Amino acid sequence: MPVSLGVIGLGRMAEAVILPLLNQGDFLPEDFFSVVGHPASVKRALDHLPDGMRVVSSDDSSALKVWSAPIQLLAVKPQQLDIVQSQALQATQFIKTTSRPILISLLAGVTLEKLKEVFPHHCCFRAVPNTPVLVGAGLTGLAWSDGVTSEQIISVRKLFDPISEVLELPEHQLDAYLALASSGPAFVALMAEALADGAVAAGLPRLLAHYLAHRTFAGTALLLKEKEIHPGELKDMVASPGGTTIKGLRHLEKSGVRSALMEAVVMAAERSREMSG
């Protein structure tokens, strides 16, 4: 059976891309062929995936089939690149194709230059999706190496357009993009949790506090986007003179919350650059 998409490594981010594509009917389970590191990982992976998915361990005799796919999604840990490289080189001895396959790397900190060095027979892309792709509300940053054709770009976008808004970026911007869009959901989740805890401390039941925090974040984000309001303008709309909101904002400023959030993004970007060094 031919493979439309080969998946090398099947961690959370790879699943976050695959599952929405399956749920929306863009792909069938049999379109995928996935390779994981160990036999024990096969069962764990299949527990999260629909029936019909093909998942094998890297020591399986059929594992090299993943390299026959026209599009290959690389989602291993960066320190596993050497092992994957040897498998890809081995596959070239047995798999003959008329065109260079597309390799889409989800690996943070691994540059296009490094990818071209490790996979010289591929056309290389870097994709940085964030976890809201799971609900079709994600963002994906996309960059590619020299020599990629417009048809190949369209093929890659067909993977990510159905589950996210795709931003085509120069590679040097991916670190800052990752720090905001990819790490950002964790920062937002922390804020949502903290606001809910505050509401519990003020007297609300836990479940109601979490519901209100989540709805407040979702509604505020939608308002900022749909009305194209600057965040500072919305803040001023809510904070009336001498009222409850301005008192809370004053405390946030005294506590350095704005600075802490700025530094969180900067530090995440710096860490991404360190990983590529």
| pLDDT tens digits, one per residue of 43-53 | 888 888 888 88
The pLDDT assigned to 277 comes to: 67
Which has more pLDDT, 61 or 228? 228
The hierarchical CATH code for the domain 184-276 is 1.10.3730.10
Q: What percent of the chain has pLDDT over 90?
A: 64
Overall average pLDDT of the 244-256 stretch? 97
Which range has the top average pLDDT, 10-14, 35-39, 144-148, 210-214?
A: 210-214
The pLDDT assigned to 235 comes to: 96
Architecture of domain 5-170: 3-Layer(aba) Sandwich (3.40)
Overall average pLDDT of the 117-134 stretch? 93
Nearest Cα neighbor of 103 from 93, 92, 184 is 92
Overall average pLDDT of the 14-28 stretch? 87
Tell me, letter by letter, the H, E, C secondary structure of the chain: CCCCEEEECCCHHHHHHHHHHHHCCCCCHHHEEEEECCHHHHHHHHCCCCCCCEEEECCCCCHHHHHHCCEEEECCCHHHHHHHHHHHHHHHCCCCCCCCCEEEECCCCCCHHHHHHHCCCCEEEEEEECHHHHHCCEEEEEEECCCCCHHHHHHHHHHHCCCEEEEECCHHHHHHHHHHHHCHHHHHHHHHHHHHHHHHHCCCCHHHHHHHHHHHHHHHHHHHHHCCCCHHHHHHHHCCCCCHHHHHHHHHHHCCHHHHHHHHHHHHHHHHHHHHC
The pLDDT assigned to 240 comes to: 95
Give CATH 1.10.3730.10 domain extents, the chain: 184-276
Lowest mean pLDDT among 107-111, 155-159, 226-230: 107-111
Overall average pLDDT of the 11-15 stretch? 87
Give how far Cα 144 sits from Cα of 111, 141, 172, 173, 227, Å: 10, 10, 11, 12, 33
Overall average pLDDT of the 103-119 stretch? 92
Overall average pLDDT of the 113-130 stretch? 93
Lowest mean pLDDT among 80-89, 219-228, 256-265: 80-89
> What tokens does 224 get?
């900022």
The pLDDT assigned to 108 comes to: 85
**Residue 62's pLDDT band (cuts 50, 70, 90):** confident
How high does pLDDT run on average in the chain? 91
Answer whether 124's CB lies under 8 Å from 11's CB.
no
Give CATH 3.40.50.720 domain extents, the chain: 5-170
Which range has the top average pLDDT, 66-80, 135-149, 176-190?
A: 176-190
Q: What percent of the chain has pLDDT over 70?
A: 96
The pLDDT assigned to 75 comes to: 92
With a CB cutoff of 8 Å and minimum separation 6, the contacts of 3 are 31, 32, 33, 65, 66, 68, 69
pLDDT at 100 over 80: yes
- Measure the CA–CA gap between 193 and 251, rounded to whole angstroms: 18
**Residue 259's pLDDT band (cuts 50, 70, 90):** very high
**Residue 249's pLDDT band (cuts 50, 70, 90):** very high
Measure the CA angle with vertex 133, ends 21 and 231; round to 5°.
Answer: 150
